[in-house]
Amino acid sequence: MAENIIKTEYSDEMQKSYIDYAMSVIISRALPDVRDGLKPVQRRTLYDMHELGINYNKPYRKSARIVGDTMGKYHPHGDSSIYDALVVMAQDFKKGMALVDGHGNFGNIEGDPPAAMRYTESRLQKITQDALLADLDKDVVDFIPNFDETEKEPEVLPCRIPNILINGSEGIAVGMVTSIPPHNLGEVIDATKAYIENPEITTKQLMRYIKGPDFPTGGIVINKDDLEEIYESGVGKIRIRGKVDVEKGKNGHINVVISEIPYPMIGLNISKFLSDVADLYESKKCTDIVDISNQSSKEGIRIVIELKKDTDAQNFINMLYKKTKLEDTFSVNMLAISEKRPETMGLKEILKRCTAFYYECNRRKYTNLLNKELERKEIQEGLIRACNVIDLIIEILRGSKDRPMAKRCLVEGDTTGIRFKSKESEIMAAMLRFTEKQANAILEMRLYKLIGLELDALIKEHDETMANIFRYEDILERHDSMTQVIVSDLEQFKKEFARKRRTVIENGEEAVYEEKKIEEADVYVLMDRFGYVKCLDEATYLRNIEAANEESKYVVLCRNTGKVCIFTDEGQLHTVKVSDIPMGKMKDKGIAIDNISSYSSKNEQILNLCSQSELNLYRFVFVTEKSLCKIVSGGEFDVSRRQILATKLNDGDRVVSIHVLKDTKNIVMVSNDGYFIRFSIEEISEMKKNSAGVRGMKLSANAVVDSVFYEEIEGSSGFDYRDKTIEFNKIKLTGRDGKGTKLRL
């Protein structure tokens, strides 16, 4: 078979392939459908449970059984994605209304993972069966082939409530993200009814019913005035706080009790919150904390922070709002699939799409029911008519040779070949004109149907069928009747499944707290060779001065209200507040400088440490591997930013030495190939920090400066290099930019 080679532009093919991939992720994986509020994996899992008959009133089934069946029939994307979706639908702390009833360890609000699917069991919740799956047998939605066209699956579930608002949704697609908060079922149903009654209703009027999001974790939404704009546009930020109470503790202490948390704090962020509170104490930013305990259980969240007797509790709570995730934001982006394309919708638009779907489903449902009742009516009328001439029908059946002969007589009046008792019977038989369905029903009718009571029941059943036909036709023909049915369904769901609102909606005041003024004092900042830093008060340092100087690579005297500057070999300057460095004892290890600054020990090496308050007093000498050197005034580095560029570096270059100029008279540069050059420090030009510098030494090919030494006016006679002491006088004093001399070591 000959190959068909298609030549195409590579960029065009990549663009087309990427767009196809992106749309597949957007439509078929990550975003929910506005009609049922479900992503494909969720819809397929629920439908598979429905097909397996795992109903709310039936025994639980192993989650592994559900996951395997869903993966094999409908969702061939791996078991973890299916089980993760199943777990989330069972977690009532994530969903406004859980869709799956989980039995076993399905994780918890503190972020503990669920047990493996071979251990847990699941079944459908009652609301899931009643509101999302009830009418699948009535041709209310289209069914499409599965991935290998061996099964059929619903394109969308026939959802009868706005599930997309009640349960919300979160998902990340290619180039877009959805984040819809959960809402209160009762409020959403009331808003839906209001929209149905008045499609011209405004978002502001809808918010009389939907006050705002109703998070399963409770909490307090504090930007009520912003909600109208968020619901109008479908985009915005909701600010939410945890619920905090103040209680009396033991020994006169004050207990700050957190009973509800912001929705974004679900999971490992609770541990992060506890860690942040502990850091406030350890860093001495808050000295009022006595103890922290997480007393949360299945009954709910309870985090207790014990404070000292005279603590201003409200000021402490405001500090928690400012410094921790006890106040957080929920980013709203109400993006969903509508008519097979992603669209950001406001509250009213979502209700519009949902109600249009309800009308469509009910139209198809009652059309299907009407057709079944018309078919039943046809058969019933045929049986009633047959009972009135039952003797003739029995005579036809007894005189016929086979079923087709009898059926032709009943349908067409064809008496050919049938033996009758009399000519009159034959004439009457020729007048029969039953329909095909009626004839089949007559031929299959059992003798007990001839009993008088059975005939009465048949007539009564026919009357009920006629009443149903009248009702279904009325629903299909009159918009008001259809509306009444939809509203009645919504009211029934509200009556059975609604619960009280958990989240409080208000306009909260900005959290303002007063930091305790730190009494200014001199402290010593000590950093060891491993990058661990700590502060010692002046008395402690002076008592242990020898040990402190011996164990520390850098010792800097500064004020506890000031900052420390860190110069690195990447030419960066990082500033750290002294208040961020924990006060410690001589034996304390300290904290890694990485944790309190923008400095990264993986990519940078510290070359110097100094107090920011002393920058204006000194000048700094910079020397790089490629022998570029310059002098920079310390005032250039006196800035408020946490990180700035301390010097300009050429590609492939790095700083070797940063030295504070005090009484320095000469500088010695040493290359890695053994050349030494000594010249006056005055030959180095003073420049701005953004300049590269001047050349201090001519280097051989592939050679670099690996060491720099400074000769002070007094007190310096030599330096240590490669375990040997070298006298400054052994190196000839020359001018800058020479090759230098090679010494035998």
- Residues marked active site are found at 119
Question: Which of 186, 223, 733 shows the shortest CA–CA distance to 509?
Answer: 223
Neighbours of 684 (CB within 10 A): 20
Asked if residues 35 and 353 have their Cβ atoms less than 8 Å apart, the reply is: yes
Q: How far apart are CA 594 and CA 608, in angstroms?
A: 15
Instruction: Please classify residue 233 by burial: count the beta carbons closer than 10 Å to its beta carbon, then call 0-12 exposed, 13-18 middle and 19+ buried.
Output: middle
Neighbours of 744 (CB within 10 A): 4
Question: Which of 656, 676, 675 shows the shortest CA–CA distance to 666?
Answer: 676
Q: Could you give the 3-state DSSP secondary structure of residue 646?
A: coil
Question: Which of 176, 192, 216, 241 shows the shortest CA–CA distance to 89?
Answer: 216
Q: Could you give the 3-state DSSP secondary structure of residue 122?
A: strand
Backbone φ/ψ region at 698: left (φ over 0), alpha (ψ -120 to 50), beta? beta
Radius of gyration of the chain from its Cα atoms, rounded to whole angstroms: 41
Q: How far apart are CA 106 and CA 116, in angstroms?
A: 9
Q: How far apart are CA 366 and CA 347, in angstroms?
A: 29
Element spanning 515, H or E: none
The values of phi and psi at residue 537, to 5°, are: -70, 165
50, two tokens = 């429905």
User: Which residues make Cβ contacts (< 8 Å) with residue 574, sequence separation at least 6?
Assistant: 565, 566, 568, 597, 598, 599, 642, 643
Please identify which residue in the block is written with the tokens 């489903």. Answer: 361
Question: Which of 406, 389, 273 shows the shortest CA–CA distance to 328?
Answer: 273
Asked if residues 396 and 418 have their Cβ atoms less than 8 Å apart, the reply is: yes
Tell me, what DSSP letter sits at residue 148?
Answer: T
Strands, E assignment, 190-347 = 220-221, 235-241, 243-248, 254-260, 289-294, 303-307, 327-333, 335-338, 341-344
Asked if residues 264 and 215 have their Cβ atoms less than 8 Å apart, the reply is: no
Tell me, what DSSP letter sits at residue 418?
Answer: -
The values of phi and psi at residue 468, to 5°, are: -65, -45
